[in-house]
Amino acid sequence: MVEGLLRDFVQEDWLALIDFSTLEKQGGSYVTDDLREREDDIIWRVRVAGEWLYVYLLIEFQSQIDPWMAVRIMVYTGLLYQDLIKSGAVVAGHPLPPVFPLVLYNGSGRWTAARDIAELIVPLPNALARYRPQHRYHLIDEGRIGEERLGQATSVAAELVRLETLAAEGPAALRPILGRLGTRLQGPRYASLRRALTVWFARVLLRRLLPGENLPQLNDLEEVETMLSEHVDEWTQKWKREGLREGERKGKLEGKTDALKRLLRVRFGDLPPWAQARIDAATLGQLDTWLDGLFQAATLDVLLGGQPPEPRPPAG
């Protein structure tokens, strides 16, 4: 899965130097200062030109965009380095291994958040610019993968992307992909992966397609395919009805988003990127709150809870 993800969707020249036979998952969780554990990220390492490269996969399965993702990535990378030092994987006098932070995003809207921490920091005078940190993450935005590129992809990871992108066409569109996965992942070697895909399909994808549907317990991909074949007509009709209702809700969301942006521009001028990203990621309830408070807030930062205004340059 990880090899296929990198081969199909990370088109960078250093991939040609990877020895994929060395790819291995790293265990452990990383604890921040407030003692909250992070166990939902996946860290792998692989040798690149003879040296270890750590691949940090941050699975972003939320539909909302996090405008502070670059900050999170910088913190998590620091925690990974800290763990490597504490565990003795890196000793004093030796350089730290490179880290490739990878964010997977499957929301419906285009990803608009900054991809480098430097983009979120107030520009500094020349003498201080050297102290501004830079740390970039690679983004795979499933909804923006071109048809040609996805059509050429052959990995299991690509099949999952197809499942997510074709889900918008209804349950019937998923059956051929499930059939290919069932045939491809035969044998005990893939038992764990088959089970994981079954759980993901039943608990995530189907529930997104058919909210409120009483789904049976599923234990294998073959059961998923059989269930779809038995209920595809019934569920397709229900999916269409749900789609009409979702379309109405989305129309309201887009309408309020556009209205809020227009009013904010009238009152505060052009919107900075962080403000646009926050508005694009907002819920209907949040948009209503901002619209209600639009004329009471003294500044854009106060209204949206955003970053403070840039400091004034020193006199002279």
Is residue 47, in this structure, part of any structural domain at all? Answer: yes
Reported as a pLDDT band with limits 50, 70 and 90, residue 74 is very high
One domain, residues 165 and 294? no
How many other C-beta atoms can be found within 10 angstroms of the C-beta atom of residue 310? 9
Mean pLDDT of 70-76: 91
Is residue 246, in this structure, part of any structural domain at all? Answer: no
One domain, residues 140 and 266? no
Q: Is the pLDDT of residue 5 over 70?
A: yes
Cβ atoms of residues 135 and 74 within 8 Å: yes
Is residue 251, in this structure, part of any structural domain at all? Answer: no
User: Which pair of tokens denotes residue 189?
Assistant: 């070697």
Is residue 104, in this structure, part of any structural domain at all? Answer: yes
One domain, residues 44 and 145? yes
- Give the pLDDT score at 170: 66
Residue-range definition of the domain harbouring residue 281: 256-304
Give how many domains the chain has, as a whole number.
Answer: 2
Tens-place pLDDT, residues 90-104:
888 888 888 898 888
Is residue 164, in this structure, part of any structural domain at all? Answer: yes
Of all helices (H) and strands (E), which one includes residue 103? strand 99-105
Q: What's the distance, Cα to Cα, between the start and end of the chain in Å?
A: 57
One domain, residues 3 and 139? yes
One domain, residues 7 and 114? yes
Burial class of 5 by CB neighbour count within 10 A (0 to 12, 13 to 18, 19+) = buried
User: Which pair of tokens denotes residue 20?
Assistant: 């994929």
Q: What is the pTM of this model?
A: 0.66
Is residue 99, in this structure, part of any structural domain at all? Answer: yes
One domain, residues 1 and 148? yes
Is residue 142, in this structure, part of any structural domain at all? Answer: yes
Nearest residue to 250 via CA among 61, 109, 67, 141: 109
Nearest residue to 58 via CA among 37, 72, 46, 47: 72
The region of weakest confidence among 109-123, 179-193, 208-222, 287-301 is 208-222
Q: State how far the Cα of 48 lies from the Cα of 111, in Å rounded to an integer.
A: 29
Is residue 282, in this structure, part of any structural domain at all? Answer: yes
One domain, residues 136 and 279? no
